[in-house]
């Protein structure tokens, strides 16, 4: 018996190439996003009976800033990232993972994204490669939202 379309969608993972990025609700084009992770600080607690009971690990909801890297091709008139780096302000960033039809189904929501580094690729007259800008942001307040 053939699976329904809904069952197929639930059983197969989403393609990583189909994503959208918005910064303060402004759509931005990126070719690659890496470093998305939710991380909490932990503390190892040792008391006087740790040799019998073992150590205990306590998890605290103190958010760590993680580095998220975004890459895109350099374009004429694309000054939004340069202005954000000069401003240095905290922005809200959303990375939506989309289904094959382009409908967002999962979102990584970053409450506080601060740009720390913008770098260009190497310029080499012997190659015909695209010029790539790499933006590194420190991100905190990351949550995962299921939209479908």
Beta-bridge partners for 112: 140
**Which residue has tokens 């409908």?**
103
User: Which of 56-60, 92-96, 109-113, 117-121 is predicted with the least confidence, judged by mean pLDDT?
Assistant: 56-60
Which sequence spans correspond to the domains of the chain? 13-38+65-146
Cα distance between residue 132 and residue 17, in whole Å: 17
Percent of the chain at pLDDT exceeding 90: 48
**Which residue has tokens 């890496």?**
34
Q: What is the pLDDT of residues 43-88, one digit of tens each?
A: 776 666 766 776 676 666 677 889 999 999 988 887 888 899 999 8
Q: What is the CATH number of domain 13-38+65-146?
A: 2.30.110.20
Q: In this structure, what are the phi and psi dihedrals at residue 33, rounded to the nearest 5 degrees?
A: -130, 130
Q: What is the pLDDT of residues 31-53, one digit of tens each?
A: 999 999 987 777 776 666 766 77
Cα distance between residue 111 and residue 90, in whole Å: 8
Q: Where are the alpha helices (DSSP H) in the chain?
A: 5-11, 50-53, 80-87
Q: Map residue 8 onto helix, strand or coil.
A: helix
Cα distance between residue 9 and residue 100, in whole Å: 10
19-23 and 91-98 as β-strands: parallel, antiparallel, unpaired?
antiparallel
Q: Which sign, positive or negative, has the C-alpha torsion 23, 27, 30, 32?
A: positive
Cα distance between residue 36 and residue 16, in whole Å: 13
């Amino acid at each position: 018996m053939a699976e329904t379309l809904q069952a197929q969608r639930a059983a197969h993972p989403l393609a990583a190439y189909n994503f959208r990025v918005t910064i303060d609700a402004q759509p931005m084009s990126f070719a690659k996003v890496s470093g998305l992770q939710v991380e909490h600080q932990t503390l190892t607690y040792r008391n006087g009976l740790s040799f019998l009971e073992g150590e205990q690990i306590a998890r605290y909801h103190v958010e760590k800033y993680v580095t998220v890297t975004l890459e895109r091709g350099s374009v004429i008139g694309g000054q939004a990232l340069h202005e954000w780096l000069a401003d240095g302000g905290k922005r809200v960033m959303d990375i939506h993972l989309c289904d094959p039809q382009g409908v967002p189904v999962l979102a990584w929501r970053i409450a506080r994204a601060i740009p720390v580094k913008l770098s260009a690729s190497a310029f080499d007259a012997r190659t015909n490669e695209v010029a790539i800008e790499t933006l590194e942001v420190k991100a905190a307040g990351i949550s995962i939202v299921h939209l479908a």
